Structure 1
Amino acid sequence: MVDLTSAATNKTNPARRKSKKRRLLCIFFLILLVLLVIISIWFCIFVSTVDIPKEGACSRHAELQPYYKGRGDIKPLLILVWTWPFGERFPLDTCLSEFGVPGCNLTIDRNVSDHADAIIIHHYDIMQSRDLLPKGPRPHYQRWVWFNFESPIIIKNLDMVENLINLTMTYRQDSDIFIPYGFLKQMNIPQTFTIPTKTKLVAWLVSMWYSGNRRTKYYEELRKYIQIDVYGKEHKPLNWEDFSSTLEQYKFYLAFENCGHKDYITEKLWRNAFGNMMVPVVLGATRENYERFMPSDSFIHVDDFSSPKDLSEFLLVLDKDDVKYKQYFNWRSRYTVERNIGWDTHFCKACSVLHQVNGYQTIPSIEKWFINK
């Protein structure tokens, strides 16, 4: 006699087994989901405790945030500031708090020179003698950074750092650490701006008078045809309290550099002209070089004119035509002017780059790269 109950049970067993497997799979995936949620929560908590740049902590270092954000493996670097640049002291502990750059231990103490990760050498302060350079053998991992803000007509004795330098830190865009005098930052939303009332024509502020060089010769010819007010040593006095209120009265500013060196665009343009809402008349690098850093209609280049007389006539035309003059300010609705103010800005930028540099290099000739290239 056949046991129908047993037979029916045997027939349903495969279905029960499939149902049991499905329940087990559901439980497994549920546990996995819970684990993923727990891991995600833990990761968010961990990341929030890591010293990383805060969003927007410093616009000058916004490009560094993708490197630092979310990283907990930042090795602290000991960086020796070999000399105070031009003897000017600055805070050594602002890299994280002011610029959002972690892992930077800056020091002026030369006793650590034999185990520092890097030494930053400001050339102007050591260029008089090879004896002013760091001495003795250095660790295989230590990098020497050549720091220079001056044009080729100022610095000298570049040959004494041959085969000693590992990284360059200058206003040249092809430096390992690029530190321009200023730059334009694009705004997300166009902004309105106001041009101060202009009652005067052309201003020039001169700190160093180089007799016989191009900018002096050009000025001496230009002043024959147009009124130019010159401020500085042996000229009209101008103190810092009246700096902006005086310069913003002028329509044009002679942003004449002391030489035509690649990327050498200094505070004459960024601070004096752009910073005080004047149209810069530039002399130095080529127009193409300037246009790498600013719109073509934001400045007037002397090379666009056959002579200083032609330039003076053009400026006088703009003086009488407000519509054409104001076109030189159109870019201000899209960009803000940023300047690298403070030595700590440059040294913290150097630290951030040192964190990212892989490998080791030695530059055979700074002179060949900086001057002759």
Structure 2
Amino acid sequence: MLGHVKHSRQTFPKPRCCFVGFLFLLGVCLLYLPDPLTLEPLVSEENSGATLLIWTHPFGRYRKLPDCFALYQIGGCTLTDDGRAYPQADAVIIHHREVASGTADLPQEPRPRAQKWIWMNYESPAHTPRLWRFEDVFNLTMTYRTDSDIFLPYGYLRPREHRTNGLQNRFAHPLRAPSRLHLLRPRLLAWVISNWSESHARVALYYQLRRYIQVDVFGRAGRPLPEDSGGSVVRLVGRYQFYLALENSQHTDYITEKLWNAVRAGAIPVVLGPSRQNYERFLPPEAFIHVDDFPTVRGLARYLLMLRRNPARLRQHLDWRGSYSVHQPTFWAEHYCTACRAVRRNRGRTDVVEDLTRWFHS
């Protein structure tokens, strides 16, 4: 019988100053992050393994299931998408979109003794419908939020000196300190967008910003990515000094690949999403420009143009890069393996997630 216990959440202290606060919060994130780059010992006991059932492939797109040990040195994990394995599965990972839309049903109750159901979702609350249907259903949450039971964000920084090993080198993208050419990139500001909606705050921001500064728009809502970029957003953005990393909605910790693509490309991200304080959980304060830093959009445009003319000031937004690498988890292989490891570490836990809706919208 599953317990009926309040779901506990991690909280983060408010930084006392920007730089010290970032270093502390980065340490907290790295401490709680289920890091696939950390080696773990080989599994020696037969009963220490775990079977994870992938209930549906996210968004109906089939992907071959990964070998967790070969990719991430996470041993003892058996992944399957065969529903007949349900009675023997230690955990079932259920992607929200399919069960919320009705294209898939939840597994049949009663669930096997001690089996855990994992709620996995990487959309923002604004695009996560019918949460009320899943109160008191799941045992673990897996999202981009730092207070999830299984936390795996869209991207994160790693200090260069942090646990250097072959796996880190394999998955991390070292960031280069700015060179003279970096400070003199030929193009000013780009935006790649596919989901255009007149109701989005980012579209309203764009309409205002283009009155004062040139914005090159690419994607389904703009020009096609140039052929010489090879379809790579990172390669395209690497030609620009600034990039609009504008989220489709503003919610806690909802910071997607838009930001991390800009960081990898060496462009300074201009962000619209959660608060500056929230972004500083993941990045040094000078690593990005938040639209809320300016009372007007015109003031934001003037600041970007000023930086363009002032390489010394521009460098202040880029000098931090030489100390870090960036890691962007692979969808969905890394998520499954990270979830499997969490199941192995939480064998005795049978709490039920209460107030899922209130938590995710908080």
Equivalent residue in structure 1 for 2:102, among 117, 126, 129: 129
When structure 1 is superposed on structure 2, of 166-175 and 321-330 the one drifting more is: 321-330
* Secondary structure at the counterpart of residue 337 of structure 1: strand
Could you tell me how far 1:91 is from its partner in structure 2? 3.2
Q: Taking structure 1 as reference, are residues 192 and 135 closer, same or farther at Cα in structure 2, changes over 3 Å only?
A: closer
1:88 aligns with 2:77: no
1:252 aligns with 2:227: no
**1:105-150 CA-partner distances (Å, limit 9, x unpaired):** 1000001112211100000122112962112311121100000010
Match of 1:354 in 2: 343
Distance across 1 between alignment mates of 2:205 and 2:221: 19
Distance across 2 between alignment mates of 1:309 and 1:93: 48
1:100 aligns with 2:87: no
Distance across 2 between alignment mates of 1:92 and 1:126: 20
One-letter identity of the residue aligned with 1:223: R
Contact 2:177 2:319 in 1 (8 A): no
One-letter identity of the residue aligned with 1:124: R
1:324 aligns with 2:313: yes
Q: Taking structure 1 as reference, are residues 191 and 264 closer, same or farther at Cα in structure 2, changes over 3 Å only?
A: closer
1:157 aligns with 2:96: no
Q: Taking structure 1 as reference, are residues 245 and 171 closer, same or farther at Cα in structure 2, changes over 3 Å only?
A: closer
Could you tell me how far 1:248 is from its partner in structure 2? 1.2
Distance across 2 between alignment mates of 1:121 and 1:187: 35
Contact 1:90 1:342 in 2 (8 A): no
1:202 aligns with 2:189: yes
Match of 2:326 in 1: 337
Contact 2:194 2:221 in 1 (8 A): no
Distance across 1 between alignment mates of 2:337 and 2:329: 12
Could you tell me how far 1:70 is from its partner in structure 2? 7.0
Q: Taking structure 1 as reference, are residues 83 and 71 closer, same or farther at Cα in structure 2, changes over 3 Å only?
A: closer
Q: Taking structure 1 as reference, are residues 234 and 287 closer, same or farther at Cα in structure 2, changes over 3 Å only?
A: closer
* Secondary structure at the counterpart of residue 201 of structure 1: strand
* Secondary structure at the counterpart of residue 113 of structure 1: helix
Equivalent residue in structure 1 for 2:41, among 47, 50, 69: 69
Match of 1:261 in 2: 251
Which stretches in structure 2 are left out of the alignment for 5+ residues? Answer: 1-33, 163-173
1:229 aligns with 2:216: yes
Contact 1:280 1:299 in 2 (8 A): yes
Match of 1:147 in 2: 120
**1:246-295 CA-partner distances (Å, limit 9, x unpaired):** 32111100101111111111000002x11211000001100000001110
One-letter identity of the residue aligned with 2:205: Y
Q: Taking structure 1 as reference, are residues 348 and 251 closer, same or farther at Cα in structure 2, changes over 3 Å only?
A: same
One-letter identity of the residue aligned with 1:137: P
Contact 2:178 2:318 in 1 (8 A): no
> Which structure has the greater CA radius of gyration?
1
Match of 2:160 in 1: 187
TM-score with structure 1 length normalisation?
0.79
Distance across 2 between alignment mates of 1:360 and 1:133: 18
Contact 2:190 2:216 in 1 (8 A): yes
* Secondary structure at the counterpart of residue 188 of structure 2: strand
Name the structure where helix makes up a greater proportion of residues. 1
Could you tell me how far 1:100 is from its partner in structure 2? 0.5
One-letter identity of the residue aligned with 1:311: L
Could you tell me how far 1:359 is from its partner in structure 2? 2.2
TM-score with structure 2 length normalisation?
0.81
Q: After the TM superposition, which residues 262-301 of structure 1 pair with which residues of structure 2 at under 5 Å, given as runs?
A: 262-271=252-261, 273-301=262-290
Q: After the TM superposition, which residues 8-19 of structure 1 pair with which residues of structure 2 at under 5 Å, given as runs?
A: none
Please report the RMSD computed on the Cα atoms of aligned residues, expressed in angstroms.
2.1
Distance across 1 between alignment mates of 2:42 and 2:88: 29
Q: Which has the higher contact order (CA 8 A, sep 6+)?
A: 2
Q: Taking structure 1 as reference, are residues 359 and 60 closer, same or farther at Cα in structure 2, changes over 3 Å only?
A: closer
Which stretches in structure 1 are left out of the alignment for 5+ residues? Answer: 1-58
* Secondary structure at the counterpart of residue 317 of structure 2: helix
**1:81-119 CA-partner distances (Å, limit 9, x unpaired):** 001112233332410111011111100000111221110
